[in-house]
Structure 1
Amino acid sequence: MSLIYGDPYMTVTDAATTTPTWKYSVADMVKVGEGQTDDYWSLRVKMPYHRIQYQFAVEGSDGQHVLLSDRGIRADTAENRLKNNFRVPYFQEVDRVKTPDWAKTTVWYQIFPERFANGDQSNDPQGVKPWNPEDHPGREDFYGGDLQGVLDHLDDLQRLGINGLYFCPIFKASSNHKYDTIDYFDIDPDFGDKDLFERLVNEAHRRGMKVMLDAVFNHIGYQSLQWQDVLKNGDSSRFASWFHINSYPLTPFNDPSNNGGNPQYDTFAFEPHMPKLNTANPDVQDYLLEIATYWIKTFDIDAWRLDVANEVDHHFWRRFYQATQQCKKDFLVIGEVWHSSQPWLNGDQFSGVMNYAFTEQVEEHFLTSQQTAQNMVELLTDQLMMYRQQNAQVMLNTLDSHDTARILTVAGGDEKRALQALAFIFTQTGMPCIYYGTEMGMSGDNDPDCRKPMDWSQLGQPIWQKVHEIVQFRRDYAQLLGTGSTRLSVNSTGLIKVERVGSAHLTAYFNTTNNAVPLSMEPKLAQGYDGENLAPKGFVIEVI
């Protein structure tokens, strides 16, 4: 595969005919990955006048030579090389898609505040349950976790190697999860107050930790001032146009006369206590932008994670991105999108997204054996090549969260499989994220069972030490793993091979077969490796 390229206005005159023709160069491309149906080739070129036209010269496995151009596949002739090129007329901004450099070297830790630690019992909600990591929480249960609890354990998180704190919602709300916001400008009193939050952010920053908050802008809480005004005043409410209301008069969502309890308004999913905001409304946009910038300007947060981001107006996200970048250089914006996300990743909306497609492929091979190693590698390669490199470097790579079963449970309680999967995502392009309690070996089924109170009795125990080693490895080689190229493959013995090339050269092997495989490596990090053989569920990572 070769690239035929040049400036569209650069010509050379043929000596025989004195006719000017397009001047082009030819450069060989490098194969960088193999997906399910496509191979991927890459080449970096620099154009001095910020424009380019190009096409590809392809040699088939049968020896046939063709050109792939803007008009499709054509014969590779001298005439065809001069026309029908792809063209980028002018790079308006050479680095139009920018993502924060600091994020590429960050290891995130997701905190569900109500279940992380109870540092101040004086703000416990009524009916709080005893702190029991073996409990199976109900949807309405409270255990008393708060921001003081996070502040009390910052040193523990620092020892683990964490340098990014990702908080589930902390704003005033009626539920334990706080995704039903009542007041975006206030800390929920069950968690503390603004003075405490300011102290927490300052202490995190002092330890080199970034802070990311959860923005729930797709919907608002049933008890919010805005929605209560609509319930009271109907279509004469000044907030009526803030929502998607299908009929009046509104009745309580649990009123039997209301079509069996079905809401008369659009909601998040089918949650009647979370009415959906009309984010195309300029007044709603202005209100939400005031919130977004307030927490940056007042408390110096570093990032927003955007809940249900794919259901919010694109125009609003463009305004949101501009407003946050104007507040703070290199501010990070991560969207919650569970499917292909390119429309949001063109430099004007999000930096990256929660990489659920990545998560699913890893889990289906490493944790549940639902797909082969080869299939996983191909799908992950397709996923990696779907986005610009600068976006891929700040995708949020998780294995579990407050929305999903914990990795140890998905792995059937097999600690070695869970650790192998965790080590794998820490070698990949993107920002790794640990869900609270993973380092404690916590289990839990789908929501709400994945939200058990933190098991602090396991602090410093063997499972904690193993997770710490994985985190510390990522931190030790942050530059390489945050920005270097990635190549995935499966070798002849069935081992998954990861190569990262940048400031150094990393080679890692993961054994998901049923047999020990002979291997000679000088490991920086390993599991199940004795110097000669890599055991099933093992991994070994070498850096040169």
Structure 2
Amino acid sequence: MSTMFVVMTSLAQKPVERIEPPCWWVGMNNPNLQLLVYGKNIASAQVSINNPNIDLVGIDRVENPNYIFINLTVKPDAKPGSIDIKFTFPKGKPLTYAYELKARQAGSANRKGFDNSDVVYLVYPDRFSNGNPAIDQVSGYTDKVDRNEPYARHGGDIQGILNHLDYFKQLGVTALWLNPVLESNQPSWSYHGYAITDFYRVDPRLGSNELYKEFIDKAHAQGIKVVKDMVFNHCGGEHWWMKDVPMKNWFNLYPDYKRTNYRIPTTFDPHASVADSSLMADGWFDGHMPDLNQRNPYLANYLIQNSIWWIEYAGLDGIRMDTHPYCDKHFMAQWCAAVQNEYPNFSIVGETWVNYPAWVAYWQKDAKNRDGYNSNLEIVMDFPLMFAMHKAFDEKDGWDTGLARLYEIIAHDFVYPNPDKLFIFADNHDIGRFQRDSSQALGRLKLAMAFLLTTRGIPQIYYGTEILLPGDDAKGHGDIRRDFPGGWPTDSKSAFTPEGRTKRQNEIWNYMSTILNWRKTATAIHNGKLTHFIPENEVYVYFRHNSEQTVMVILHNGYQPKVLDTSRFAEFLSNKTSGIDIISGNKVENLAKIQLSPRSAMIIELK
């Protein structure tokens, strides 16, 4: 158990039960710190600090006398160590709380986030690997482990992910995004982690704060970055706040509630009614997920500091923000700016689950929005491209069908301030898997992966795609969040090793690993310009090019072999004599006529 929780436990029966953030750091760019203090009648206490490098700016008492907010300024000359916060009560003995200020890791402010040179692998912690069965059930946590129940906990944990860092390294991914790992002490369906009950504690059924930090340190030692999934729109109905709410306006539509209408366009629709746009932002995402009111300045500070705390404590490389448009959009812009103020090179991607490129573009930093809104959010999720991918490889090519769907979505890139800062994916934990069932042809998935890993943007792969793990959204979330075979000691086969995979699984694993490991040094894919040609005869050709490298990508969606006449690509091929297909490893001697196999991709590094 971490030091902060030892302190909390020791104070459990005393007037101070919680102080959050539980610690802080000297040398932050923003010297201001606001502490939430919770305890019985804590508002009756007088507070003092005797430290020349810490200014006690003021104490804010709110409507619930069990909360106060202490406003501090940590001066530039402040040194790491404990500062004594003294609470003096009208009755009873004074209490001194030792609050720790830590030293920052060298280079912390300049940490580099993930970018187009990375491929992010999304891991569902509860469904990936059980590395420590001893914590499957923890006292005080009622949701039980039952692998036969799709919506129960299955026992995957952080140790299980840590145990397989070599697997990620061999596959060729360079960053891991874990679905939420914070405490979700809900009576049921707690496995998904999106109903958080403590924003400063890793769920003990997944591990501990220290183990999470150890996992990140060891991932970094393998050259793998870590992205934390955060949720600011809501918390879990069993969050400790719900037992003693700080303020009436800490939550939206509380104590009665209405569900959100889920209509994100009302946040930017110039014709939207106030009723619709308010319900969109203030309605609850679900009945067991109270909607947080980020317009409350104390909650706003709390959430901003929570992000910075986890970045600094755990050494994060990025944040994925869940349900980004469902939060108060002006707060979210403030939050992005605050994080960037501390970490200018840090990466944040927001979940922007909308249908059209113009709707996604609204949420990207520096978009030319009619209402003047600037989100400060650099990376947005390209759901329109994902939707197109799910259809493109199942259709015959037409004016706007088949491969033309990909072309047309990318042709919309003019609406984005920065189309290279799009987070692209074929599926994730909320979407039916691209491989809906295990019998689907490999050619379809190979085409999709070749495209995903070579077009513009930052690719994300959902765990199990590389072993043909199926999942149909028509069967619900439990089906698309299946256990990774071999992640449990009782599993009969382990897909973590070639011996435990079928021939088909090894074929797709090797295919993806070849592209992923080549991609690590393919600068044209990282930062090169994309030039594409209108799909013709079931073939989509595009080039990624910079001053160092030119790569020709050919996607052939047809079911018959054909010879591709490349004369229309002369602007890129006129000064090239040959190439290497990085998928097969074969040399392409004749660039004028290229032989295409049915339902196949070629990624040709031109010479």
Please give the TM-score of this superposition, normalised by the length of structure 1.
0.71
Query: 2: distance between equivalents of 1:184 and 1:367?
Result: 43
Alpha-carbon spacing, 1:418–1:280, altered in 2? closer, same or farther (3 Å): same
- 1:420 aligns with one of 440, 444, 447: 447
User: Residue 134 of structure 2: which of 122, 133, 142 is its match?
Assistant: 122
After superposition, residues 222-371 of structure 1 pair within 5 angstroms as: 222-230=237-245, 238-245=246-253, 267-269=283-285, 271-339=286-354, 340-347=359-366, 349-367=376-394
Counterpart of 2:197 in 1: which secondary structure? strand
In structure 1, list runs of 5 or more residues that go unmatched. 1-98, 231-237, 252-262
Structure 2 CA distance for aligned equivalents of residues 384 and 268 of structure 1: 33
Give the count of matched residue pairs. 416
Distance 1:168 1:102, change over 3 A: closer
Cα contact 2:563–2:596 (8 A) shared by 1 = yes
Give the residue type in structure 2 aligned to 1:155.
D
Determine if contact 1:109/1:165 at 8 Å carries over to the other structure. Answer: yes
What residue number does 2:164 align with?
A: 153
Task: State how far apart, in whole Å, the 2-side matches of 1:129 and 1:278 are.
Answer: 35
> Is the deviation greater in 427-436 or in 455-464?
455-464
2:235 is aligned to 220
**Residue-by-residue CA offset, 1:475-529 (whole Å, 9 max, x unaligned):** 131x211211112223544310111111311111111123211148744334799
1:454 alignment partner AA: F
Q: Deviations over 1:232-259 (max 9, x none)?
A: xxxxxx33201122666x89xxxxxxxx
CA contact (8 A) 2:557 2:599 kept: yes
Q: Which of 555, 566, 579 is 1:510 aligned to?
A: 555
SS of structure 2 residue aligned to 1:376: helix
* Partner in structure 2 of residue 449 of structure 1: 479
Match of 1:383 among 412, 415, 420: 412
Aligned amino acid, residue 117 of structure 1: S
| Counterparts of 1:341 and 1:491, CA distance in 2 | 25
1:542–1:491: structure 2 CA closer, same or farther, 3 Å change rule? same
Cα distance change on mapping 1:412 and 1:403 into 2, 3 Å? farther
1:463 to 508, 522, 526: 508
Name the amino acid aligned to 2:455.
Q
Please name the residue that 1:109 is paired with.
121
Cα distance in 2 between the residues matched to 1:181 and 1:368: 41
Match of 1:181, SS state, is: coil
C-alpha contact 2:379 2:423 (8 A) present in aligned 1: yes
Residue 501 (structure 1) aligned to one of 534, 545, 548: 545
Tell me the distance in 2 between the aligned counterparts of 1:368 and 1:167: 33
- Output the CA distance in 2 between the equivalents of 1:492 and 1:115: 42
For 1:410 and 1:501, the matched residues in 2 are separated by: 36
1:504 and 1:298 mapped to 2: Cα distance?
Answer: 39
1:167 corresponds to which residue? Answer: 178
Aligned to 2:524: 480
Q: How far did residue 467 of structure 1 move?
A: 1.6
Q: Tell me the equivalent position of 2:75.
A: none
Q: What does residue 143 of structure 1 align with? A: 154
Contact 1:528/1:535 (CA < 8 Å) preserved in 2? no
User: 2: CA distance between counterparts of 1:113 and 1:483?
Assistant: 32
How much has 1:147 moved relative to structure 2?
A: 0.3
Residues 209 and 367 (structure 1 numbering): CA distance in 2 closer, same or farther, change over 3 Å? farther
8 Å contact 2:511–2:583 — kept in the other structure?
no
Deviation at 1:432, TM superposition (A): 0.9
The question of whether the paired residues in 2 share the 8 Å contact of 1:440 and 1:455 is answered with no
Rounded Cα–Cα distance in structure 2 between residues aligned with 1:395 and 1:384: 10
Q: Which amino acid aligns with 1:364?
A: K
AA in 1 matched with 2:443: K
**Whole-angstrom distance in 1 between the partners of 2:351 and 2:586:** 37
Task: Indicate how the Cα distance of structure 1 residues 100 and 392 shifts in structure 2: closer, same or farther if over 3 A, else same.
Answer: farther
Per the alignment, do residues 401 and 296 of structure 1 end up closer, same or farther by CA in structure 2, a change over 3 Å counting? same
Amino acid of the residue matched to residue 278 of structure 1? N
In structure 1, what is the Cα distance between the partners aligned to 2:376 and 2:218?
30
Higher mean C-alpha deviation, range 339-348 or range 320-329: 339-348
Report the counterpart of residue 176 of structure 1 in structure 2.
191
How large is the Cα RMSD of the aligned pairs?
Answer: 2.7
2:465 paired with 1:438: yes
User: Cα 1:247–1:178, aligned 2, differ >3 Å: closer, same or farther?
Assistant: closer
Residues 320-346 of structure 1 show CA distances to partners (whole Å, capped at 9, x for unaligned) of 112212332311010000222333322
- Distance in 1, Cα, partners of 2:316 & 2:404: 40
Contact kept, 8 Å, 2:112 with 2:346, in 1: the verdict is yes
Q: 2:407·2:535 contact (CA, 8 Å) conserved in 1?
A: no
Output the amino acid matched with 2:376.
Q
Residue in structure 2 matched with residue 537 of structure 1 by the alignment: 599
Distance in 1 (alpha carbons) for counterparts of 2:517 and 2:231: 32
Over 3 Å counting, the alpha-carbon distance change for 1:221 and 1:490 in structure 2 is same
Q: Secondary structure at the match of 1:273?
A: coil
TM-score by length of 2: 0.64
1:206 alignment counterpart: 221
Rounded Cα–Cα distance in structure 2 between residues aligned with 1:101 and 1:486: 23
Q: Give, in angstroms, the shift of residue 207 of structure 1.
A: 1.3
The share of aligned pairs that are identical, in percent, is 26
Q: What is the one-letter code of the residue matched to 2:431? A: T
The DSSP-based 3-state class of the residue aligned with 2:116 is helix
Deviation at 1:470, TM superposition (A): 2.0
Asked whether the 8 Å contact 2:403–2:557 carries over to 1, the reply is: no
Instruction: Report if the CA contact (8 A) 1:408-1:414 is conserved.
Output: no
Change (3 A) 1:102 1:307: closer
The equivalent residue for 2:71 is: none
**Residue 530 of structure 1: how far off its partner (Å):** 11
Secondary structure at the counterpart of residue 272 of structure 1: coil
Q: Which amino acid aligns with 1:112?
A: Y
Distance 1:171 1:542, change over 3 A: same
Query: 1:116, 1:369 → 2: CA distance?
Result: 36
**Partner SS state of residue 458, structure 1:** coil
Give the conservation status (yes or no) of the 8 Å contact 1:267–1:274.
Answer: no
Q: Distance in 2 between matches of 1:267 and 1:410?
A: 36
Quote the Cα distance in structure 1 between the aligned partners of 2:112 and 2:412.
Answer: 21
Amino acid of the structure 2 residue aligned with 1:500: R
Change in Cα spacing, 1:494 to 1:223, as seen in structure 2 (3 Å) is: same
| Counterpart pick for 1:392 among 410, 416, 419 | 419
